[in-house]
Amino acid sequence: MSELNAQEAASAPSGQASTAAFRPAAVAAVPLETIGGWIGVVVPGSSAAVPVTGISLNSRAVQPGDLYVALPGATRHGADFVSQAVDAGAVAVLTDDAGARLLALSNDISVPVLLAEEPRSLVGRLSALIYRSRPANAAAPALFGVTGTNGKTTTTYFINALLQALGKTTGLIGTIEILAGAEAIPSLLTTPESTDVHALLALMRERGLDAASMEVSSHAIAFRRVDGVEFDVAGFTNLTQDHLDLHGSMEEYFETKARLFTAGRARAAVVTVDDGWGQRLAADAGIPVTTLATGTGASGGSAADGTAADWTVVHSRPRGLGTEFGLLHRDGTELRVHTGLPGTFNVANAALATVMVLASGAGAAEVQAALDGADPFTVAVPGRMQLVATAPAAVVDFAHNPDALARALEAVRSPEPGSKVIVVFGATGQRDQGKRPAMGAIAARLADTVIISDDDPHDEDAAAIRADVLAGALAAKDSEDLGCTILEVFPRDAAIRKAVELACPEDTILVAGRGHEVWQEVKGVNLALDDRVELRSALTARGFTVLDDQRIES
């Protein structure tokens, strides 16, 4: 799923207000004078006592009692929508100089207006103030944050499942869905806006939840969506090429991620040190760090200072589609862990989830009992190595960057002689163009049949995107004398049908890049497209047996 530009989303005249239902039922009002004092603005006269019970960046999501924050956007300023916000019940406005100039042209603004030089920098902490989402002197859910290029979604699901196995009531904020206890809504961003994050955390506290886990993307950090949030434990999966359209370089990408591992943003951290980025993060973090070596990188299991990691994956062996392994601490403590999801990267995800829960204070014995009794890491994660059929093996995965695609292709390769891997994938439009030929080359090296199709073109020409991917695949095939077959098939549903048409029962089909997504964006239009539905339909049409939705065999 593509990330939206936060400022553009803030000033858009239309938007999604679904998270309004996930605000706490009761919020003790904060006087506008208190907010003004916190910002450094004097609120005169009768306006000082105006009660504020919420905060919103979107005029269509405003609830009665809200402070509406009007920010500059890509094409419009949020101040253009103040009238709509006031009509919806906003009791005050916070904006910048440009917004104030726009409001000066209107004579019908009936609510107080607060002015700040950079209101965006205040939104997260203001949200925490208004919702009292992470009070130091009251019970609040233990909060786990997971960042990294790949594995965030699965790791948060694994944390959620392990916490539930430990008897905790839990919440989840992520790419696929937001859970507040048993209640769920679809998620629009990897991490919602800071106003919604703090409202959700306050709701979870109000409902008495014990813990919550959250994906924290680099976009969320860069666009200040987790400002004002302090995680009990922050976890790091890995860092590979992605999102360079935003960050410009891997160094800037790393520095953005590293901001999560500082005092005030997290109290403790678990860092996977399988590569140089993780080792550097563990050395530079400004908070206590537990290191984890999973053996899936090139470091040989060393921490940043060259010593053995605090926790190391050992004795890994296949079990069904998944893996059974040991998790060994430097003091000799060893846990037995199993994940039913295929791939060494899911070993890394399961190991990180386990160590993060241990770092929160859970005892090794009770964690082992939970792992043995509930098998929490066999939970089905929608669109993450999701098995659709077994003969042929048919898998849908979110792999949408070079490292993730390589890992997924390696994970699905069957040891049976004569079996082939058929992959369907593309690349997202208006995103890091440098990864397109790299992904094509990886597919040519690791698959027997490469079917290049469309992902989400957005406003970019779909044929041009396919051409970039195709060029990388053909170059690798020619220069490395690879024996794969390379096809270009579009639209995507036709590509999936072609993959099934070519498959024999002993083969594997991997449909990569979109995972759980159910819409394909083309030129501003959302077209209904679910890779899992299309794959099931094509398999059924050929007489192959498909699995029940969400079923994992282990």
* Predicted local confidence at residue 365, as pLDDT: 98
What is d(CA 134, CA 230) in angstroms, rounded to the nearest whole number? 8
Contact 154, 172 (CB under 8 A): no
* Predicted local confidence at residue 105, as pLDDT: 84
CATH of the domain at 113: 3.40.1390.10
What is the Cα 324 distance to its own chain's centre? 26
* Predicted local confidence at residue 248, as pLDDT: 59
Same domain, 393 and 373: no
Domain end: 342, 357, 378, which one?
378
Cis bond leading into 382, ω under 30°? no
Q: What Rg, from alpha-carbon coordinates, does the chain have?
A: 24
Environment class of 501 (CB within 10 Å of its CB; exposed 0-12, middle 13-18, buried 19+): exposed
Same domain, 141 and 63: no
Environment class of 210 (CB within 10 Å of its CB; exposed 0-12, middle 13-18, buried 19+): middle
Residue 479 lies in a domain: yes
Helix (H) or strand (E) run with residue 117 in it: none
Environment class of 267 (CB within 10 Å of its CB; exposed 0-12, middle 13-18, buried 19+): middle
In 3D space, the residue among 225, 239, 124 whose CA is nearest the CA of residue 173 turns out to be: 225
Same domain, 180 and 298: yes
Residue 546 lies in a domain: no
Give the torsion sign (CA, 123, 127, 128, 133): negative
In residues, how long is the chain?
554
Same domain, 246 and 192: yes
Three-state SS string over 424-441 comes to EECCCCCCCCCHHHHHHH
Compute CA distances 508 → 194, 396, 491, 530, 534, whole Å.
41, 11, 21, 19, 16
* Predicted local confidence at residue 303, as pLDDT: 52
What is d(CA 389, CA 536) in angstroms, rounded to the nearest whole number? 8
Contact 51, 91 (CB under 8 A): yes
Same domain, 443 and 350: no
* Predicted local confidence at residue 245, as pLDDT: 55
**Residue 174, phi then psi, degrees to nearest 5:** -165, -170
Residue 548 lies in a domain: no
Same domain, 120 and 149: no
What is d(CA 68, CA 91) in angstroms, rounded to the nearest whole number? 8
What is d(CA 378, CA 18) in angstroms, rounded to the nearest whole number? 30
Residue 550 lies in a domain: no
* 10-residue mean pLDDT series, the chain (554 residues): 37 42 88 94 88 95 96 92 96 96 84 94 95 76 94 95 97 88 68 88 93 93 92 95 63 93 96 94 95 73 65 92 94 96 92 98 98 92 90 93 91 91 95 91 98 95 97 98 98 98 97 93 92 97 86 39
- Please enumerate in sequence order all residues whose Cβ is within 8 A of that of 105, keeping only pairs 6 or more positions apart, or say none: none
Helix (H) or strand (E) run with residue 74 in it: none
Same domain, 188 and 289: yes
Same domain, 351 and 411: no
**Residue 416, phi then psi, degrees to nearest 5:** -70, 130
**Residue 269, phi then psi, degrees to nearest 5:** -140, 150
What is d(CA 194, CA 200) in angstroms, rounded to the nearest whole number? 10
For the chain, the first-to-last Cα distance in angstroms comes to 28
Same domain, 296 and 339: yes
Residue 24 lies in a domain: yes
What is d(CA 262, CA 287) in angstroms, rounded to the nearest whole number? 6
Helix (H) or strand (E) run with residue 284 in it: helix 276-284
Three-state SS string over 502-550 comes to HCCCCCEEEEECCCCCCEEEECCEEEECCHHHHHHHHHHHCCCCECCCC
Residue owning tokens 């490395």: 480
The most distant pair of C-alpha atoms in the chain lies apart, rounded to whole Å, by 82
Same domain, 102 and 137: no
Residue 291 lies in a domain: yes
What is d(CA 542, CA 536) in angstroms, rounded to the nearest whole number? 10
Domain end: 108, 130, 152, which one?
130
Same domain, 358 and 402: no
Residue 438 lies in a domain: yes
Same domain, 231 and 322: yes
Residue 70 lies in a domain: yes
CATH of the domain at 371: 3.40.1190.10
* Predicted local confidence at residue 1, as pLDDT: 35
* Domain count across the chain: 3
Residue 26 tokens read as: 């009761």
Contact 11, 69 (CB under 8 A): no
What is the Cα 43 distance to its own chain's centre? 39
In this structure, what DSSP letter does residue 19 have? G
What is d(CA 364, CA 150) in angstroms, rounded to the nearest whole number? 27
CATH of the domain at 451: 3.90.190.20
Domain residues for 104?
6-130
Residue type at position 426: G
Domain end: 111, 130, 149, which one?
130
Residue 22 tokens read as: 């996930």
**Residue 7, phi then psi, degrees to nearest 5:** -65, -40
In this structure, what DSSP letter does residue 305 have? T
Bridge partner residues of 68 (DSSP) = 56, 93
What is d(CA 427, CA 334) in angstroms, rounded to the nearest whole number? 41
